[in-house]
């Protein structure tokens, strides 16, 4: 088993996340894409931690922090999605044009 396999896998997941981020029209799906990107980062960190830093496993510590923050971010994001759904009755990203881009 080699480090590079895991890194390539993480890079693929990251790029899929970016694709979803840009093309999705549903706000909830955009949030899911962001979770994919964060998971790619976690995979990177745990991979590095196992192959480069096995004594201190700092990467795993970092991953636990990322998981914590990702959960908080998801909660806040979904609260905002709920608030906007209540006012606009839609979660289509293309409809959010009150403010000019």
Partner 1 sequence: MDFSSSVASQLHAGTILPEGIVIITLMTILVGDLIFGRSSSRWLPYVAMFGLFNSIVALFFQWNNPNAIAFLGSFSGDNLSIVFRGIVVLSAMVTIPMSIRYIQQSGTSLAEFIAIMLTATTGGMFLCGANELTMVFISLEMLSISSYLMTGYMKRDPRSNEAALKYLLIGAASSAIFLYGMSLLYGLSGGETNLNIIATKITAINGTQSLGLAISLVFIIAGIAFKISAVPFHQWTPDVYEGSPTPVVAFLSVGSKAAGFALAIRLLVTAFGSMTEQWHFIFTALAILSMVLGNVVALAQTSIKRMLAYSSIAQAGFVMIGLIAGTDNGYSSMIFYLFIYLFMNLGAFTCIILFSLRTGTDQISEYAGLYQKDPLLTLCLSICLLSLGGIPPMAGFFGKIYLFWAGWQAGLYGLVLLGLITSVISIYYYIRVVKMMVVKEPQEMSESVKNYPAINWKLAGMRPLQASLIFATVVTSLAGILSNPLFTLSANSVNSTPILRSAIITQEITQSTIQVSSVEDLIN
Partner 2 sequence: MNLAEGVQIVSFGILAVMMIGTALGVVLLPKIVHSAFLLAGVFISISGLYILLNADFVAAAQILVYVGAVNVLILFAIMLVNKQEDYVELPGRTIRKVATGVVCFGLFALLGTMVLATPWSLSTTSPSVVDNTVIALGEHFFSDYLLPFELASVLLLMAMVGAIILARRDLIPESMADENTVTTGLTLPERPRELARLGSEEQDS
Residues 6+ apart with CB under 8 A from 29: 20
d(CA 43, CA 9): 8
d(CA 45, CA 62): 7
For partner 2 (CB under 8 A), the number of binding residues is: 74
Per rule CB under 8 A, is residue 96 in the interface with partner 2? Answer: no
Least Å distance, CB 23 to partner 1, is 13
Q: 34 with 21: CB under 8 angstroms?
A: yes
Rg (alpha carbons) of the chain, rounded to whole number: 17
d(CA 31, CA 95): 17
Selected binder of partner 2 within 41, 49, 96, 101 (CB under 8 A): 49
Selected binder of partner 2 within 8, 41, 96, 97 (CB under 8 A): 8
Contacting residues toward partner 1, per CB under 8 A: 7, 14, 17-18, 21, 27, 30-31, 34, 37-38, 40-41, 44-45, 47-49, 52-53, 56, 58-59, 61-62, 65-66, 69, 72-73, 76-77, 80-81, 83-84, 87-88, 96, 98-101
């Amino acid at each position: 088993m080699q480090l590079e396999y895991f890194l390539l896998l993480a890079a693929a997941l990251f790029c899929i996340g970016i694709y979803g981020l840009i093309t999705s029209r549903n706000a909830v799906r955009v949030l899911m894409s962001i979770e994919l990107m964060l998971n790619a980062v976690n995979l990177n960190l745990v991979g590095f931690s196992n192959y480069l830093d096995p004594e201190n496993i700092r990467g795993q510590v970092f991953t636990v922090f990322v998981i914590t923050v990702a959960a908080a971010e998801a909660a806040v994001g979904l609260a905002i999605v709920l608030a906007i759904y209540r006012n606009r009755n839609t979660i289509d990203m293309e409809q959010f044009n009150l403010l000019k881009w």
